[in-house]
Amino acid sequence: MKSVVILGSTGSIGVNAIKSVRKLGRGWRVSGLAANSNVKALLAQARQVRAAFVSVFEYEAWKELKAAAPRGVRVLPPGVEGLAEMASLQEADIVLNSVTGAVGFAPLLAAIRASKHVALANKEPMVMAGGLLMKEAERWQARIIPVDSEPSAIFQCLSGVKPGCYDEAVSRVLLTASGGPFYAGKGSLAAVTPAQALKHPRWSMGPKITVDSSTLMNKGLEAIEIMNLFSVPIKKVQVLVHPQSVVHSGVEFRDGSVLAQLSWPDMKLPIQYALTWPDRAPSLAEPLDFFKLARLDFFRPDFRRFPCLELAFEAARAGGIRPAALNAANEVAVERFISGRLRFNGIPAVVEKVLAACRGGSERLTLSGAVEADAWARQKAAAVAETVGKR
């Protein structure tokens, strides 16, 4: 029996993960579910899969959950405490971490230190201190399998390479990007509205990651995540805009060979692979029909029109606390944009000013230092956003 707990169960990744576990059938069960605040959806999921543990992040929602949970279902604490407890449950074999943002740092660390098999769809902790988290995983004999389609594709392409030898074997990591809703257009993006930014042409995702896709920050964060997951220098990561989202990423090896992973844009495939690794099982994803592929296009990213991408690469090259500060500043800026308090091109403006305020950059990073940098950068970004938003 494989027991799975899902952090972020009511989001798109969590919903598809439940479908995947049910598809896998006998020998698989979902034992724990955690959501942000949607108590109604969470309880419906808990009844469907007969989960033994539930929790929500928001305190007011947690009080509602506590009163409504059926007998026999244990309600874990709210907030980060509940997420960390869920991630380290003795009953769990696999932890799917699909929460959004830096809030996933503590539960990821808890899962690692509980020696879990982690299916990771929460890239932000890997941006903040991914190299250190990978060392913790090695120390505690935990396994981190990426869920997002592009890191999953790279992971699959590297399956024949011994871990620790990726840099030696690889000449380039080819990280594909859909380009989001604005890449094909021209002109200024200053007047972009939240409603426009939240209309992704290929993927159905949560608000934050959808906006990140529209600024190309999501690709910058993934580049840093990949640098840390596979211990390859950022200079080897090349972003390719691929609007069809069929080639999910690839790897060029030092002999010139290129391996890539292809499928229709459907998250059920990488979710299931992260759960069943190293095995593969029939999935709910539609098979790829090559005769329906009219064309596959690839373009160089426009760093000037989408400055968030360049800011991410700069933070990766500088190292130290800068990737954590980058991520925190972006989270604050995106939240303000979605709520109508910051214009679209204010997002990179806030991030750039926060990075400029970082002292040093190459200092030795620690896990606690990454958390402290996150807190500092959030405060700084909130103050900067006030001035940027008034222009």
Angle between helices 367-389 and 346-356 (to 10 degrees): 130
Query: 219 lies in a domain?
Result: no
3-state DSSP helix/strand/coil % of the chain, to nearest 5: 50, 15, 35
For residue 16, the enclosing domain spans 2-146
Q: Which amino acid is at 3?
A: S
Query: 122 lies in a domain?
Result: yes
Per-residue pLDDT, 226: 98
Q: Which amino acid is at 52?
A: A
Query: 48 lies in a domain?
Result: yes
Per-residue pLDDT, 81: 97
**CATH code (residue 53):** 3.40.50.720
pTM for this structure? Answer: 0.95
Going by their DSSP bridges, the two strands 258-262 and 247-253 should be labelled as antiparallel
In tens, the pLDDT along 153-168 reads 999 999 989 988 999 9
Structural domains counted in the chain: 1
Query: 90 lies in a domain?
Result: yes
User: CB of 84 within 8 A of CB of 110?
Assistant: yes
Kindly list the averaged pLDDT for each block of 10 residues, start to end, along the chain of length 391: 97 96 95 98 98 98 97 97 98 97 97 98 97 98 97 96 93 96 84 92 85 96 98 98 96 97 96 97 93 94 95 97 98 97 96 91 82 97 89 52
Query: 75 lies in a domain?
Result: yes
Q: In what order do the strands lie in the sheet with 74-75?
A: 74-75, 53-56, 28-35, 2-7, 94-97, 117-120, 143-146
Of residues 321, 316, 368, the one with CA closest to residue 106 = 368
Per-residue pLDDT, 184: 80
Per-residue pLDDT, 14: 97
Place of tokens 């900067």: 384
Query: 227 lies in a domain?
Result: no
User: How far is C-alpha 74 from the chain's CA centre?
Assistant: 28
Query: 81 lies in a domain?
Result: yes
Query: 24 lies in a domain?
Result: yes
Per-residue pLDDT, 163: 85
Structure tokens at 190: 């200053």
